Amino acid sequence: MISWREAWGGRHARALDPQGHEPKTKLFRPALTHLDRLEAESIYIMREAVAECDNPVMLYSIGKDSSVLLHLALKAFYPAKPPFPLLHVDTTWKFREMIAFRDQRARELGLELLVHTNPDGLARNVGPITHGSEIHTDVMKTQALKQALERYGFDAAFGGARRDEEKSRAKERVFSLRNAHHRWDPKRQRPEPWQLYNGRKRKGESLRIFPLSNWTELDIWLYIHRENIPIVPLYFAAERPVVERDGMLILVDDERLPLHPGEQPQLRSVRFRTLGCYPLTGAVESTAATLPDIIRETLEARTSERHGRAIDKDTAASMERKKQEGYF
């Protein structure tokens, strides 16, 4: 190794160090832990967004990331309440336990919860089983989200997406601009140096804001554990009736899931790493019934979190395309 040191502002580098001088290592407990820093950054992002935007909303999808996001919002504006409502885009195909959890949380915290379902999709009975995951996601999630944002005139929406989830998300800014048609243009992203987020936008444009951009799945679990954040029980392993389809374990959550000939729901000890529409979300076999068990399982995992999500695999680069169409 060749290394050289130079005094600040010095004009000439010193001679090369022939010994291959190794920089010294410091191992001490930092004043703030990694989680402390992530938390402070997320709170900073939320405060910036609220200060710079006229009418923000928090997309509340009831999953673990949403739970963390909500917890951070409570912290960011304490002792005031978060100065924005929660919005849940309900596809009508969420797990029943999710809906029960959603209503209970909103009631406990005394927050305004808006629930929107695409009325056209509802009238046409669009669903993942009859129409396939692509059409279902487009009509009941992407179109529904656009309807809700326009109906209430929201100019900024918080989301719990993380950069470690998926390749196109890894490319997205914290303040992500959408044009009047809610489209994301990956080639026209604004530079975002330091923590200087640009919240200005033209009429009709809106922002998606991702305070959890720099968190990983493991960080989320460690933080839920540290802060005792309530989450949907589906994340913990329990005996549940499932059927196996295309290599995925699908929970028989209600009578709407048609069973194929010869298919018989089996009781297996399963849990979910991620939650979406139940016919599109695969469970994993697990006995992790506590947070420490889940953290251990996350550490040892050999497959990625979104492995169990059918919608990411519809076509190559499918998440990027969905985002361009206005999906969160």
- Name 176's bridge partners: 208
| Residue choice 123, 228, 262, 300 for contact with other proteins (CB under 8 A) | 228
Task: Single out the residue of 85, 132, 233, 265 in contact with other proteins (rule: CB under 8 A).
Answer: 233
Residue count, binding to other proteins (CB under 8 A): 98
Q: Which residues of 103-135 are buried (b: 16+ CB within 10 A; e: fewer)?
A: eebbeeeebebbebebeebbeeebbbeebebee
DSSP sequence for 141-170: IIIHHHHHHHHHT-SEEE----TTS-TTGG
Our CB check for other proteins shows the closer of 12 and 260 to be 12
The least CB distance from residue 283 to other proteins, in Å, is 16
Question: Among 55, 129, 293, 298, which residue interacts with other proteins (rule: CB under 8 A)?
Answer: 293
Q: Which is nearer to other proteins, 14 or 124 (CB)?
A: 14
Per-residue string for binding with other proteins, 53-92, x by CB under 8 A?
---------------------xxxxxxxx-----------
Residues 6+ apart with CB under 8 A from 206: 149, 154, 155, 156, 157, 177, 178, 182
Site string for other proteins, 148-187 (x = CB under 8 A): ---------------xx-xxxxxx-x------------xx
287 binds other proteins (CB under 8 A): no
Q: Is 161 left (phi over 0), alpha (psi -120 to 50) or beta?
A: beta
Cα–Cα distance, 223 to 225 (Å, whole number): 5
In this structure, are residues 278 and 310 in contact, taking their beta carbons and an 8 Å threshold? no
Instruction: Assess 290 for contact with other proteins (CB under 8 A).
Output: yes
Integer CA distances (angstroms), 137 to 129, 207, 279, 301, in order: 11, 21, 12, 27
Q: What string marks each residue from 245 to 284 as x (binds other proteins by CB under 8 A) or -?
A: ----------------------------------------
What is the token pair recorded at 16? 């090369």
Task: Tell me how far, at minimum, the Cβ of 118 lies from other proteins, in Å.
Answer: 27
The footprint of other proteins on residues 5-24 (CB under 8 A) is 5-6, 8-13, 20, 22-24
The answer to whether the CB of 311 falls within 8 A of the CB of 279 is no
Q: Tell which one of 70, 291, 310, 311 touches other proteins (CB under 8 A).
A: 291
Which among 116-124, 264-272, 276-284, 287-295 is the span making contact with other proteins, rule CB under 8 A? 287-295
